[in-house]
Amino acid sequence: MDRFVRILELHKLLSNRRTPISREDLQEKLNRCSVATVKRAISEMRDYLGAPIKYDRQLNGYYYDQNETFTYELPGLWFNAEEIFALLTTQQLLAKVQPGILEPHLAPLRNRLNSILNNQHIATNDIEKNIRILQMAPRPTDVDAFRKIADALFRKKKIKMLYNGRERDAITERWVSPQRLVYYRNNWYLDGWCHLRKDLRSFSLDRIKIVYIGEKAKTISEKRLNDHYGSAYGIFAGKPKQKAVIHFSSSAARWVADEHWHSQQESRLLPDGGWEITVPYNDPRELIMDILKYGAEAEVIHPPALREEISKRLNEAIRLYNPTRGN
């Protein structure tokens, strides 16, 4: 066991104990090290790290001399190899999700972690090679806009922004009180209170241009946010108005049975080996796209309007591939 790791493990053992621990137990838990090694680790912690290690002769064990007003912690940044790899892996995931957004803030921590591992003769070069994240059609988010929105969110400040919504393709100026940043299907969204519409709205970050960060934002309760954004299907918010009943073929059932479409979905096995799911929805656009990706393996049973819309989309697709089209 490396000296660095031994000190960290010794600290954890003493911090998690309410009673003294014997030298023999320390030897066993510190990878069966020698008596001299345990004594050396204890001395280093006392002399160089200021650890309040005491020895109880009556109970024949070591303990931390601390109370409710004083809890000893190791100075600086102390992690074992497994914890460091977990942190570096998390950093890699964040970098892949949105390149550049957190790089200036994470780089000093990453460099420090790499330095610790290098001192233990552990290479970190393989982390980037061994983690592969594939994103489907992500839309680029302006790094500066993301940082300003995140700053306003955590400081509870309103933002004045220009928003170019795709549906209407019109630029509007509005004040928004940020409530949540949401990473959904490879893209970032802002959930916020729109002071122009006087209601909760979701904004795609790639369509936002920040103009100004203002005064204190309006705060919406977590329950209201969950009721508004969590009850309908997908990214579209609002109270569900319908329930869609969809049947999947027996071959598609092997995948759909393990998929989570909605927090309130209902599922059951059909007599022919197929799979039925029932999901609540408000705006059908995202639900339609998810159903269509299964093609002939999915059939909408209810409601009739949704079934008719799916049929219309499929017929339009067939028309595009009709060899007599245009003749």
With a cut of 60, say whether residue 213 has pLDDT above it.
yes
The predicted pLDDT at position 101 comes to: 62
The token duo for 191 is 């959930």
| Residue 141 amino acid letter | T
Q: Are residues 291 and 269 in the same domain?
A: yes
With a cut of 80, say whether residue 127 has pLDDT above it.
no
CATH number at residue 276: 3.30.70
Domain assignment of residue 326, yes or no: no
Q: pLDDT grade, residue 313 (50/70/90)? A: very high
* Total domains in the fold of the chain: 4
The predicted pLDDT at position 112 comes to: 65
Q: Which of 43-57, 123-137, 160-174, 197-211 has the lowest mean pLDDT?
A: 123-137
With a cut of 80, say whether residue 247 has pLDDT above it.
yes
Question: Taking residues 169-189, what's their average pLDDT?
Answer: 91
The fraction of the chain above a pLDDT of 70, given in percent, is 80
Using the 3D structure, point to which of 185, 219, 253 is the last residue of a domain. 219
Domain assignment of residue 14, yes or no: yes
Cβ contact 180:154 at 8 Å: no
- Residue range(s) defining the domain that contains residue 172: 143-219
Question: Taking residues 249-265, what's their average pLDDT?
Answer: 92
With a cut of 80, say whether residue 315 has pLDDT above it.
yes
Q: Are residues 149 and 124 in the same domain?
A: no
Domain assignment of residue 138, yes or no: no
pLDDT, one tens digit per residue, over 259-304 is 999 888 999 999 999 999 999 998 899 999 999 999 999 999 999 9
Q: Which of 50-54, 66-70, 197-201 has the lowest mean pLDDT?
A: 66-70
Domain assignment of residue 29, yes or no: yes
Q: Are residues 47 and 93 in the same domain?
A: no
Cβ contact 173:191 at 8 Å: no
Q: Are residues 39 and 98 in the same domain?
A: no
Domain assignment of residue 327, yes or no: no
The token duo for 32 is 């069966």
Average pLDDT, the chain: 85
With a cut of 60, say whether residue 45 has pLDDT above it.
yes
Distance CA 47, CA 70 (A): 19
CATH number at residue 13: 1.10.10.10
Using the 3D structure, point to which of 64, 91, 113 is the last residue of a domain. 64
With a cut of 70, say whether residue 160 has pLDDT above it.
yes
Buried b (16+ CB within 10 A) or exposed e, 83-109: ebbeebeebbeebeebeebbeeebeee
Measured CA distances, 115 to 75, 104, 112, 124 (Å): 17, 18, 5, 10
The predicted pLDDT at position 327 comes to: 55
| Residue 69 amino acid letter | T
Using the 3D structure, point to which of 16, 34, 64 is the last residue of a domain. 64
CATH number at residue 164: 2.30.30
Domain assignment of residue 230, yes or no: no
In SS3 terms, the chain reads as: CCHHHHHHHHHHHHHCCCCCECHHHHHHHCCCCCHHHHHHHHHHHHHHHCCCEEEECCCCEEEECCECCECCCCCCCCCCHHHHHHHHHHHHHHHHHCCCCCHHHHHHHHHHHHHHHHHCCCCCCHHHHHCCCCCCCCCCCCHHHHHHHHHHHHHCEEEEEEEEECCCCEEEEEEEEEEEEEEECCEEEEEEEECCCCEEEEEEHHHEEEEEEEEECCCCCHHHHHHHHHCCCCCCCCCCCEEEEEEECHHHHHHHCCCCCCCCCEEEECCCCCEEEEEEECCCHHHHHHHHCCHHHEEEEECHHHHHHHHHHHHHHHHHCCCCCCC
Domain assignment of residue 118, yes or no: yes
Q: Which of 177, 106, 71, 186 is nearest to 140 (CA)?
A: 186
Q: Label the pairing between strands 187-194 and 199-204.
A: antiparallel
Number of residues in the chain: 327
Q: Which of 27-36, 120-129, 169-178, 301-310 has the lowest mean pLDDT?
A: 120-129
Residues paired with residue 53 on neighbouring β-strands, in sequence order: 64
Domain assignment of residue 226, yes or no: no
